[in-house]
């Protein structure tokens, strides 16, 4: 729907402006790395007795400490870094670790596995482009370290690993880096997409709830204003009757009566909202009415009528032995928006006709929406309901969130949503509720938090 597209566009525009990593986090992690590097160097040199180029190695650690101090005193710790800034800092960490490994044996150093850490962090929080850059940088660094590096600190005579073994280490590192970048990156991207899609769903639902609340408030205001406006009309009519027909105030009195009648017409239209009628009938404070399911389906479809598409509504009891009374359903935003989204999708891709069938019995309530269009593409039929999955191949921009939002909202009401292609052509979406569940939905005990 239009609202879901606007919600997703708003999230997509906002996400790049809000960094995913706090500077404080990167600084804290780097302090831990600095402490670990310094402790390892001193332990290997002084405790284990292996000869190290301690001066250059500690100088590399000192550079990281100086960078942390510069970042701490020049930028607020709560600053959230963008994609580019985070990539630069992770690239520095990777290069600094590569320098230390060059001084201490290259890939033969057991700590060379730590070169995967920046790639892993990037895969989980940064863009695919940044992850590709860091993964490539790690592979290049590993390739250099496999060929050029200082001797691994060892006892007299040194430890010389066979070239084949070093080649195996390089191969394992490259495969691990690629696996982390692709696998962790894909999982993290799916999680980000789901998070954004759920946020868009909440925005759509909040909008529907606000519109419904505003309508109820308008109806309540119309009801409260009706009595004083009626009194004003009576008094104005008495004044107009007592004034001379050709007096200077007769025209003003007539204008007052006309404007009073106009106000009463406006208030009557506001008070005619079904939300207010339903709430008044039941004595409820809820802004949602309860109305027959067929009426709710038609209300959900009302904003999506197009003159060139025939909307055919069919409503009937599906009881096998006797007619079952039509269920009364809350005018809940989840149901209205979810059904409206499916109907809009069908109208958008139909050639000439969309049929909306509403069937109920004592056990269940079913709403099916079928169009005579091209139907769903077979490769995505089993994946319908996932976020960012375009349901058809029509021209134009499709964010792939409409069906996801509709499915998510309807499932919150206890519905099961199934998509299929009709044998004669076209697509069908079937929504089925347990009757007891949908009739109760809308009360404070049944609405999800």
pLDDT tens figures, 44-83: 888 887 888 888 999 999 999 999 999 999 888 778 888 8
Alpha carbon distance 362, 447 (integer Å):
22
Right CATH number for 290-440 from 3.10.200.10, 3.40.50.1100, 3.30.565.10, 3.10.290.10? Answer: 3.30.565.10
Q: Are 293 and 318 in contact (CB under 8 A)?
A: no
For tokens 């909307």, name the residue.
311
Q: Are 334 and 359 in contact (CB under 8 A)?
A: no
Digits of tens for pLDDT over the chain (449 positions)? 444 444 444 444 444 434 568 888 889 999 999 999 999 888 888 888 788 888 899 999 999 999 999 999 988 877 888 888 889 999 999 999 999 999 988 888 888 888 988 988 888 888 888 888 999 999 999 999 988 888 877 776 667 778 888 888 899 888 988 888 887 777 776 666 666 666 666 666 666 556 555 555 666 666 667 778 778 878 878 887 777 877 777 778 788 888 888 887 777 766 554 444 444 434 443 444 578 898 889 888 888 888 898 999 998 887 655 578 888 888 887 888 889 889 988 898 899 999 999 999 889 999 999 999 888 888 887 777 776 665 554 444 444 567 877 888 888 888 899 999 988 888 999 999 999 888 888 654 445 44
pTM: 0.51
> Is 353 exposed, middle or buried, given 0-12, 13-18 or 19+ CB atoms closer than 10 A?
middle
Opening angle at CA 19, ends 15 and 20, nearest 5: 95
DSSP 222-288: HHHHHHHHHHHHHHHHHHHHHS-TTSTTHHHHHHHHHHHHHHHHHHHHHHT-HHHHHHHHHT---S-
Tokens of 420: 């299929």
Alpha carbon distance 280, 282 (integer Å):
5
Residues 6+ apart with CB under 8 A from 122: 86, 87, 90, 130, 131, 134, 135, 181
- SS3 state at 117: helix
pLDDT tens figures, 149-163: 888 777 766 677 788
Helix (H) or strand (E) holding 344: helix 333-349
Residues 6+ apart with CB under 8 A from 28: none
The angle, 0 to 180 degrees and rounded to 10, between the axes of the packed helices 163-179 and 128-147 is 170
The order of strands in the sheet holding 427-434 is 310-317, 353-360, 364-371, 427-434, 416-421
Q: Are 296 and 336 in contact (CB under 8 A)?
A: yes
Q: What are phi and psi of 78, to 5 degrees?
A: -80, 0
What residue segments make up the domains of the chain, in order of their start?
2-204, 211-282, 290-440
Cα–Cα distances in angstroms (integers) from residue 424 to residues 83, 312, 357, 371, 393, in the given order: 49, 17, 17, 11, 19
């Amino acid at each position: 729907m239009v609202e879901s597209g606007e919600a997703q566009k708003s999230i997509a525009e906002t996400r790049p402006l809000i960094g995913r990593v706090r500077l404080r986090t990167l600084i804290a992690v780097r302090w831990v790395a600095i402490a670990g590097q310094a402790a390892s160097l001193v332990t290997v040199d002084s405790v284990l007795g292996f000869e190290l180029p301690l001066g250059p190695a500690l100088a590399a650690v000192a550079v990281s400490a100086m960078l942390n101090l510069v970042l701490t005193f020049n930028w607020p710790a709560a600053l959230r870094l963008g994609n580019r800034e985070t990539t630069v800092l992770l690239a520095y960490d990777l290069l600094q670790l590569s320098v230390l490994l060059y001084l201490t044996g290259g890939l033969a150093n057991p700590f060379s596995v730590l070169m995967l850490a920046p790639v892993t962090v990037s895969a989980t929080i940064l863009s695919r482009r940044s992850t590709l850059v860091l993964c490539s940088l790690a592979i290049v660094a590993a390739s250099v370290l496999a060929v050029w590096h200082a001797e691994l600190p060892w006892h007299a005579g040194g430890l010389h690993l066979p070239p084949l073994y070093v080649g195996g280490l390089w191969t394992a590192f490259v495969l691990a880096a690629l696996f982390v970048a692709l696998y962790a990156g894909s999982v993290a991207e799916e999680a980000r997409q789901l998070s954004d899609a759920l946020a868009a769903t909440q925005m759509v639902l909040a909008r529907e709830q606000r519109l419904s609340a505003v309508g109820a408030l308008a109806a309540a205001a119309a009801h409260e204003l009706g009595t004083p406006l009626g009194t004003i009309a009576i008094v104005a009519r008495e004044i107009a009757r007592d004034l001379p027909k050709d007096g200077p105030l007769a025209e003003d009195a007539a204008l007052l009566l006309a404007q009073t009648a106009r106000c009463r017409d406006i208030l009557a239209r506001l008070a005619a909202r079904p939300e207010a009628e339903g709430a008044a009938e039941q004595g409820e404070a809820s802004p949602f009415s309860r109305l027959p399911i067929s009426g709710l389906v038609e209300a959900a479809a009302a904003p999506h009528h197009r003159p060139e598409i025939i909307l055919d509504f069919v409503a009937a009891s599906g009881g096998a032995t006797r007619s079952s009374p039509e269920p009364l359903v809350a005018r809940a935003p989840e149901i209205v928006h979810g059904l409206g989204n499916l109907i809009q999708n069908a109208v958008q891709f139909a050639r000439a006709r969309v049929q909306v069938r509403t069937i109920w019995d004592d056990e269940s309530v079913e709403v099916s929406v079928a169009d005579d269009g091209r139907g769903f593409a077979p490769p995505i039929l089993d994946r319908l309901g996932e976020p960012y999955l375009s349901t058809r191949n029509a021209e134009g921009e499709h964010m792939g969130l409409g069906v996801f939002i509709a499915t998510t909202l309807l499932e919150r009401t206890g519905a099961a949503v199934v998509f299929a292609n009709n044998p004669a052509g076209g697509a069908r979406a079937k929504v089925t509720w347990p009757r007891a569940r949908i009739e109760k939905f809308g009360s404070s005990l049944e609405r999800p938090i």
